[in-house]
Amino acid sequence: MNPYELTIAQARGQLVAGTLSSRELTQSCLDRIAAVDGEIKAFLVVNPDQALSQADEADRMRAHGNSANLCGIPLSIKDLLCTKGTATTCGSRILEHFVPPYDATVVEKLKGQGAVILGKVAMDEFAMGSTSESCVFQVPENPWKPGYVSGGSSGGSAASVAALECPGSLGSDTGGSIRQPASLCGIVGIKPTYGLVSRYGLVAFASSLDQIGPLTRDVTDCALMLNAISGYDPKDSTSVSRETPDYGTSLVDGLHGVRVGVPQEYFGEGLDPEVRAVVNHGIDLLRQAGAEIVQVSLPRTDYCVAVYYLIATAEASSNLARYDGVSFGFRDKNARSLMEMYKESRSQGFGAEVKRRILIGTYALSAGYYDAYYKKASQVRTLILGDFNRAFGQCDVLISPVVPTPAWKIGEKADNPLAMYLSDVLTISANLAGIPGISVPGGFSRDGLPIGIQLQGPHFREDSLFKVAYNLERGLDLPPQRPAIA
């Protein structure tokens, strides 16, 4: 087995045993990137010299007793997390040359453990999209079927892990942007509870919805990465001060006493029959593992898309007002007045999808419309949270599809924003409620495209999600398959 094929846990075992060095592991990943990324197009920036230097330092750290789980492990980083000395573009022209003077807290934590940062990966511009097609630099492709989307907005993160370019990546999830690409690329991805992971150094899209989380090849690796990045951060006002458990202790066999809820609204019209079959098989496996399966209802599911695209766009309009060509970022140099400079810098710097969402959000916040749109959406959001709270009174974890269909061809929905928005219908509710959700590979379509299974839990019960996800993964026992890119 080539080193780049190892999971985080497998690589850690060899690093601890001394049969593999971090330099060897990192070089193997760099060679893999050089071999396949021309087709996958996951990486926007690769820093081989920096990565090898970090790998050498990790080898020294381990030789001196550093036992951190991620010491010496090569990872990729979504390009909206600030990385000191390396460009952070958010997939946008307006930040094309922006180099942060500091690291995001999660990046700082990874470096503190001795992790190796390979580079930055592609994403939808400012995380606004479901396919990564709005990235102005390149569009990452699905490693299982080139020419198909890898998902979004963390498409580069998912593609880099699925293509075996790295064993793990950090992404962000505002309406499903970790879980959806994880599902479409056949890997594991978790959106933690809002407030569990620091957002300091995350370039904001929608501040009340954004959350950072890991994407990995299996559930064990996902728990290892979440252990490394979770915890209170005084630099983030939304960070929650509470003790975080070792999620690895949740990875145990058996689900006796666990109640798994099946929300009927997530299995309605528009769900692909192959997706339905994969999820139903997952439900049967959880029942065999000892779980009690109960039917629950989330009656306001139909309102989630409308509520999300009012709240998210309104917050995006506010957050992106800072990109005006004055302090940093792209500036139109031909403008003849201050107002023209503002207008032209934003018109040229932002792509079509970002401008569409800014316009929607500005309208929703405008005088005379705030109460009718943003305020009303916020009120319905509270009702949606109430639905989840009632459901979790009947069960410990919810199971459902992640995406209504397997991956689709690049460009297939490019001219239909509404169809693109509806692809997130099963994931956005977790962001509105602030609860955790995880995508676990469940199987494949007849065309060889991955299909994920989603689990959602109450606030700060990632331990329950990992327990169920681990048993689901073991029950499925999917045969080892390599993506088409191999």
Tens digits of residue pLDDT in 45-64: 999 999 999 999 999 999 99
Q: What is the mean pLDDT of the chain?
A: 96
Annotated active-site positions, please? 78, 153, 177
Quote the pLDDT of residue 128: 97
Mean pLDDT of 121-143: 97
Question: How much is the pLDDT for 432?
Answer: 98
Mean pLDDT along residues 124-132: 97
Q: What is the pLDDT of residues 462-486, one digit of tens each?
A: 999 999 999 999 999 987 778 977 6
Give residue-wise pLDDT tens across range 284-320.
Answer: 999 999 999 999 999 999 999 999 999 999 999 999 9
pLDDT(113) > 70: yes
The pLDDT of residue 414 is 82
Question: pLDDT per residue over 195-251, tens digit each?
Answer: 999 999 999 999 999 999 999 999 999 999 999 999 999 999 999 999 999 999 999
198 and 239 Cβ atoms separated by less than 8 Å: yes
How is residue 100 annotated by DSSP?
-
- Triad 90, 140, 331: Cα angle to 5°: 30
Residue ranges of E strands in 255-396? 259-263, 292-296
Q: What is the mean predicted confidence (pLDDT) over 434-445? A: 98
What was the pLDDT predicted at 14? Answer: 97
Specify whether the CB–CB gap between 106 and 230 falls below 8 A. no
Can you give the pTM of this predicted structure? Answer: 0.97
Mean pLDDT confidence for 423-433: 95
Topology, domain 1-486: Amidase signature (AS) enzymes (3.90.1300)
For residues 204 and 20, give the distance between their C-alpha atoms in angstroms, rounded to a whole number: 38
What is the b/e burial string over 283-297, where b = at least 16 CB atoms within 10 angstroms of the residue's CB?
Answer: bebbeebebeeeebe
* Cβ atoms < 10 Å from Cβ of 102: 13
Over 80: is that where the pLDDT of 96 sits?
yes
Q: What's residue 486's pLDDT?
A: 63
- pLDDT at residue number 422: 81
Taking residues 262-283, report their average pLDDT.
96
Q: Where are the domains of the chain?
A: 1-486
What pLDDT, on the 0 to 100 scale, is given for residue 417? 81
Question: Would you state the pLDDT for residue 125?
Answer: 98
Tokens of 144: 């299982």
The arrangement of strands across the sheet holding 397-401 comes to 43-46, 116-121, 74-78, 168-173, 211-216, 188-191, 437-444, 450-456, 397-401, 259-263, 292-296
